[in-house]
């Protein structure tokens, strides 16, 4: 036991509300004090639950039945309190809103130190040291809730780091971050790891993490199904566990490279081929169906809020059957633009016409017939007792109730087994599916989805991709707002690249990504698929070697 | 800078003075002084915004008083209400909630109470943002939640999701607090709160002014 800092021994756990279902089953795991570990698995596989046993939240904060033991630094967690364990195992939660509760960043960082009863002079010193190390000095006097999502994630990490725990556990730290912010947080974690700290990350999006970690543990239905170094584990077929192998590793596997490349630069260095296996090249959509009629026209739209211009001079159009993706970094103005489609926001300048109707002169409830929007957080809309009522309500209120269409939607989104359950008891992915079906219930001309894939696993992305393909075939126009470029690459005919409230590029996904300057300006990075296959567009297409 | 407790005490003195004042002229002067203070510390704009919210309430209150007891009493009562709330506005604008809470801990208030006080303030904007999001999501589905009586029947669509999310937030907050050592004994504090000579002087001088003003008001 000397070499491991956290050790679980035949760990089993079942939440109080579902006693017969074991969230964790027979988990034997050792984590070294300076290890960088990835705990991965699809939604509901038990990774968050496992992490909550490391700092005693399970069994002390959550009721339920725990069997087996968890040892931290040689002592069982059952005999210790969560507050006591916090000095050894720090935890960063997914929701920054809830874990930042002080008025300034300085007080936020001080909070845990104050809890530990550290003398005042030392608190000051620790804050200064940690903040300097992470380079966020300028945040100290600011209110955490006014920071951007990426900055909040950094502050959450610093607040934990300051107490100097041996291991920091992070629950899906990248779920709501765009590329640039993911990069910042990754750099911070790598630096912390270099200082002999242990880091445990819970994630299901592998491409962002496998390159950093020393070992990965995969969970499925509460069991450990994968355990080993990334280059070993990724040799296996992990799609069966709803995990996504990074494209570079898939190509490396097919090319039988001796060392599995975990990211694109490594692959390009190890195998500088002009062309990579074509069967792994993603299928992109053919160009926009031209000639079909316009359903949305946006002309020179600007939007001001408290004298700040959030949108500047935006013009574009959407046609029947087209899938348009508005891509951009966190805070680029994507959601603000989305809210203009149905009149929730009205342009300060310019005009928006939906089916020829000026949105400035129409009521939201009128426009709702034409534009069905599903916002990022489905919890914002659930108030009915069953899923079936929740899907129907919009169509009922708008007087567009069509039973057979609703049945079709239920079928399409695979909601049949859930119809009589309460929407609040569903998993995150199931909730999203209900919200999407609800948005389509009144047969809108445009379906608008706000960050549909944020925090969702491979299985969800696959299902949503199939649904969108089906809708496209039916001629449904889709307006997608996202920073998930690999999803948008496969699902959209056309991209609008939004940066600081302006459209700085408009074209097919690969046309947009081909301009490295505008991508940098928008704080986005091209997808792996584009980096590996995008160059072929302009050059000759060579056969698989 | 004065200790938060001193500021609280001074505000209470001022409130006593306002409550004890029964004459239009005195009240106007007391309110005027507050106005001057708010201007000096550079919070005039915030005050104006806040006043705009309060004014209809004071007006309504005054109207009721007028109808029940008469004009003079109504004006005095409305002025009292405005001055009194302004006194506490001046206090809260100059005192951070956690400073008030933590300094009270020093004189025996349980830390948990102080924590709830300061944290509640921090979550007001979070909850109002959530409320806005719920409104947007429901209106986007065609549920008419525009301000007005006709939307009253749809209020469950607004309150339901908001309440449930507030509970979720509370749950997550509790978890995050626990994981950061909340409730461990022997807590220390980053900021120190001491009643210095200046504080005692202010407390003494304030009391003196209060008593003198009260006596003066009896005479004139």
Inter-chain contacts counted by CB atoms under 8 A, chains A and B: 167
Does A78 score more than 70 pLDDT?
Answer: yes
Note the pLDDT tens digit of each residue in B60-78: 888 998 988 888 889 898 9
- The nearest alpha carbon in chain B to A341 belongs to B140
Distance from C-alpha of B190 to C-alpha of A113, rounded to nearest angstrom: 9
Burial readout A228-241 (b: 16 or more C-beta within 10 A, e: otherwise): eebbebbeeebeeb
Q: In chain A, positions 392-411, which contact chain B (CB-CB < 8 Å)?
A: 393-394, 397-398
Mean pLDDT within A458-484:
92
Distance CA A118, CA A385 (A): 49
In chain B, residues with a C-beta closer than 8 Å to the C-beta of A84 are 184
What confidence score (pLDDT) does residue A181 get? 85
Judge whether residue A184 has pLDDT over 70: yes
Is the per-residue pLDDT at A543 higher than 80?
A: no
- The closest of A420, A397, A412 to A447, measured between CA atoms, is A412
pLDDT tens figures, B20-63: 988 888 899 999 999 999 999 999 999 999 988 888 888 888 89
Asked if the C-beta of A145 comes within 8 angstroms of chain B's C-beta atoms, the answer is: yes
Domains of chain A: 34-62+82-228 (3.40.50.300), 320-343+363-542 (3.40.50.300)
Report A:16-55 residues touching B (Cβ under 8 A).
55
Minimum-distance CB partner of A83 among B160, B183, B188: B183
Are the beta carbons of A368 and B142 separated by less than 8 Å?
yes
Q: Name the residue facing A379 among B161, B176, B179 (closest C-beta).
A: B161
Minimum CA–CA partner of A384 in chain B: B157
Q: Measured between CB atoms, does A381 come within 8 Å of chain B?
A: yes
Nearest to A342 among B97, B140, B180 (CB): B140
CA distance A400 to chain B (A): 11
> Hey, of B106, B141, B172, B189, which one would you mutate to test binding to chain A, going by the most A CBs within 10 A of its CB?
B141
Least confident stretch, A4-8, A365-369, B118-122: B118-122
Residues B140 and B167 in one domain: yes
Burial label, A542 (beta-carbon count in 10 A; 0-12, 13-18, 19+): exposed
- Confidence tier at A279 by pLDDT (50, 70, 90): confident
Question: pLDDT at residue B8 above 90?
Answer: yes
User: Cα torsion for A157, A162, A168, A172, to the nearest 10°?
Assistant: -10
pLDDT at residue A234 above 90?
Answer: yes
Q: Are residues B7 and B92 in the same domain?
A: yes
Residues ≥6 apart with Cβ < 8 Å to A466: none
* A214 pLDDT tier (thresholds 50, 70, 90): very high
Identity of the residue in B164, B172, B183 whose CB atom sits nearest the CB atom of A98: B172
Please say if the pLDDT value at position A43 is more than 90.
no
Residues B188 and B216 grouped into a single domain? no
pTM, two decimal places:
0.87
Q: Residue B173 has which token pair?
A: 């907050």
User: Nearest C-alpha of chain B: how many angstroms from A322?
Assistant: 21
B4 & B94 share domain: yes
Percent of chain A with pLDDT over 70: 97
Strands A494-499 and A502-507: antiparallel
- Longest pairwise C-alpha distance within chain A: 72
Give backbone dihedrals phi and psi of A365, rounded to 5 degrees, phi first.
-65, -25
Same domain membership, residue B84 and residue B51: yes
- What gap in Å lies between CA A438 and CA A400, rounded to an integer? 12
Chain B residues in contact with A145 (beta carbon < 8 A) = 122, 125-126
Give the 3-state DSSP-derived string for B24-43, with helices as H, strands as E and coil as C.
HHHHHHHHHHHHHHHHHCCC
Q: Which residues pair with A494 in a beta bridge?
A: A324
Predicted local confidence at residue A221, as pLDDT = 92
Cβ–Cβ below 8 Å for A117 and B122: no
User: Domain check: are B1 and B94 in the same one?
Assistant: yes
Of B97, B144, B180, the CB nearest to A111: B180
- Mean predicted lDDT score pLDDT of chain A: 91
Question: Which pLDDT band holds residue A507 (cuts at 50, 70, 90)?
Answer: very high
Cα(A255)–Cα(A192) distance, integer angstroms: 35
pLDDT at A45 over 80: yes
pLDDT in tens, A404-457: 999 999 999 999 999 999 998 888 889 999 999 999 999 999 999 999 998 888
CA distances from B62 to A324, B17, B18, B71 (A): 57, 20, 17, 9
Of A103, A114, A344, the CB nearest to B140: A344
Answer whether A103 sits within 8 Å of B96, measured CB to CB: yes
Residue B211 has a CB neighbour count (10 Å cut-off) of 12
Per-residue tokens: A279: 């069967």
Q: Are residues B132 and B175 in the same domain?
A: yes
% of chain A with per-residue pLDDT over 90: 75
User: What is the structure's pLDDT at A289?
Assistant: 65
Is A2's pLDDT higher than 60?
no
Optimal mutation site among A157, A163, A381, interface B, most CBs of chain B within 10 A? A381
pLDDT at A541 over 50: no
Q: Go through chain B and tell me how many residues it has.
A: 220
A360: DSSP letter: G
Residues A361-381 pLDDT 10s: 999 989 999 999 999 999 999
What mean pLDDT is predicted for residues A82-89? 91
pLDDT tier, B145 (very low <50, low <70, confident <90, very high otherwise): confident
- Range of the structural domain that residue B61 is part of: 1-98+194-220
User: In degrees, to the nearest 5, what angle opens at C-alpha A224 toward C-alphas A221 and A230?
Assistant: 120
Cβ distance A14 to A21 under 8 Å?
yes
Residue A277, pLDDT > 80, answer yes
Same-domain check for residues B147 and B188: yes
Report the pLDDT averaged over residues A230-235.
93
Give the residue on A whose Cα is nearest the Cα of B170. A98
Same domain, B121 and B76: no
pLDDT surpassing 60 at residue A1: no
**Same structural domain for residues B130 and B206?**
no
pLDDT at B58: 87
Report the complex ipTM: 0.87
- As a whole number, mean pLDDT of residues B148-173 equals 87
Residues B158 and B114 in one domain: yes
For residue A224, give the nearest of A58, A35, A23, A27 by alpha carbon. Answer: A27
pLDDT tens digits, A126-141: 999 999 988 889 999 9
Q: Pick the residue from chain B with its C-alpha nearest to A113.
A: B188
Question: DSSP letter at A445?
Answer: S
pLDDT value of position A349? 94
Distance from CA of A54 to the nearest CA of B (A): 11
- Are A91 and B179 an interchain contact pair (Cβ–Cβ within 8 Å)? yes
The whole-chain average pLDDT of chain B stands at: 90
- Counting the structural domains of chain B, the total is 2
pLDDT at A537 over 60: no
| pLDDT value of residue B69 | 87
Q: A397 and B143: CB-CB below 8 Å?
A: yes
Is there a contact between B181 and A124 if contact means CB atoms under 8 Å apart? no
**pLDDT > 60? residue A540:** no
Position A536 scores a pLDDT of 57
Interface test with B, best of A364, A393, A441, A449 (most B CBs within 10 A): A364
Q: Is pLDDT of A539 > 50? A: no
- The pLDDT score that the predictor gives to residue B117 is 86
pLDDT at A282: 84
């Amino acid at each position: 036991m000397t070499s491991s800092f956290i050790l679980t021994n035949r760990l089993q756990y079942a939440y109080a509300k579902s006693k017969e279902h074991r969230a964790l089953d027979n988990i034997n795991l050792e984590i070294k004090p300076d290890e960088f570990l990835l705990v991965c698995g699809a939604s509901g596989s038990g990774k968050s639950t496992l992490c909550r046993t490391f700092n005693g939240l399970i069994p002390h904060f959550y009721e339920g039945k725990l069997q087996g033991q968890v040892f931290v630094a040689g002592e069982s967690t059952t005999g210790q309190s969560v507050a006591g364990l916090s000095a050894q195992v720090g935890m960063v939660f997914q929701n920054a809103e809830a874990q930042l509760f002080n008025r300034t960043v300085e007080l936020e960082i001080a909070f845990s130190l104050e809890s530990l009863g550290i003398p005042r002079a030392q608190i000051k010193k620790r804050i200064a040291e940690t903040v300097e190390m992470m380079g966020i000095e300028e945040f100290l006097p600011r209110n955490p809730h006014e920071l951007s999502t990426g900055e909040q994630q950094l502050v959450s990490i610093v607040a934990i780091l300051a107490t100097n725990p041996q291991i920091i556990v992070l629950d899906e730290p990248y779920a709501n971050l765009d590329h640039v912010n993911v990069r910042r947080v990754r750099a911070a974690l790598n630096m912390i790891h270099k200082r002999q700290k242990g880091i445990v990350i819970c994630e299901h999006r592998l491409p962002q993490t496998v390159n950093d970690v020393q070992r990965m543990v995969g969970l499925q239905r509460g069991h450990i199904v994968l355990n080993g170094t990334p280059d070993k584990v990724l040799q296996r077929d992990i799609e069966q566990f709803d995990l996504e192998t990074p494209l570079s590793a898939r190509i490396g596997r097919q090319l039988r490279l001796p060392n599995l490349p975990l990211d694109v630069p490594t692959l390009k260095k190890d195998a500088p081929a002009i062309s990579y296996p074509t069967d792994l090249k993603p299928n992109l959509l053919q160009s926009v169906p031209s000639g079909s009629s316009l359903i949305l026209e946006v002309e020179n739209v600007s939007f001001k809020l408290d004298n700040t211009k959030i949108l500047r001079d935006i013009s574009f159009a959407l046609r029947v059957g087209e899938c348009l993706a508005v891509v951009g970094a966190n805070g680029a103005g994507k959601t603000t633009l989305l809210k203009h489609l149905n009149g929730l926001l009205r342009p300060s300048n310019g005009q928006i016409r939906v089916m020829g109707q000026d949105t400035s002169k129409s009521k939201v409830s009128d426009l709702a017939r034409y534009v069905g929007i599903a916002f990022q957080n489905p919890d914002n809309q659930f108030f009915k007792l069953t899923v079936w009522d929740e899907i129907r309500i919009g169509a009922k209120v708008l007087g567009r109730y069509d039973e057979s269409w609703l049945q079709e939607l239920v079928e399409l989104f695979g909601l049949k087994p859930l119809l009589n359950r309460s929407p609040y008891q569903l998993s995150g992915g199931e909730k999203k599916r209900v919200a999407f079906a609800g948005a389509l219930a009144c047969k809108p001309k445009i379906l608008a989805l706000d960050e549909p894939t944020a925090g969702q696993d491979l299985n969800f992305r696959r299902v949503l991709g199939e649904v969108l393909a089906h809708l496209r075939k039916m001629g449904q126009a889709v307006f997608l707002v996202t920073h998930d470029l690999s999803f948008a690459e496969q699902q959209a005919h056309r991209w609008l690249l939004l940066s600081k409230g302006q459209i700085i590029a408009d074209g097919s996904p690969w046309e947009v990504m081909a301009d490295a300057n505008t991508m940098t300006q928008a704080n986005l990075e091209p997808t792996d698929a584009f980096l590996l296959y995008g160059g072929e567009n302009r050059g000759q297409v060579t056969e698989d070697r | 800078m004065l200790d938060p407790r001193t500021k609280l005490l001074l505000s209470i003195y001022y409130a006593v003075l306002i409550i004890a004042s029964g004459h239009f002229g005195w009240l106007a002067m007391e309110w005027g002084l507050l106005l001057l203070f708010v201007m000096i510390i550079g919070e005039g704009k915030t005050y104006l915004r806040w006043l705009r919210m309060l004014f209809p309430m004071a007006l309504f209150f005054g109207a009721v008083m007028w109808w029940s007891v008469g004009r003079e009493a109504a004006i005095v009562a409305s002025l009292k209400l405005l001055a009194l709330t302004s006194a506490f506005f001046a206090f809260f604008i100059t005192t951070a909630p956690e400073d008030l809470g933590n300094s009270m801990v020093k004189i025996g208030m349980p830390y948990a109470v102080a924590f709830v006080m300061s944290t509640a303030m921090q979550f007001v904007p979070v909850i109002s943002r959530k409320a806005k999001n719920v409104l947007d999501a429901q209106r986007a589905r065609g549920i008419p939640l525009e301000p007005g009586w006709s939307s009253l029947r749809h209020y469950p669509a607004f309150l339901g999701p908001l309440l449930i999310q507030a509970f979720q937030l509370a749950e997550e907050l509790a978890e995050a607090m626990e994981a950061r050592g909340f409730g461990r004994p022997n807590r220390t504090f980053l900021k120190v709160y001491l009643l210095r000579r200046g504080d005692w002087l202010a407390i003494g001088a304030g009391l003196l002014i209060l008593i003198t003003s009260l006596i003066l008001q009896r005479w004139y």
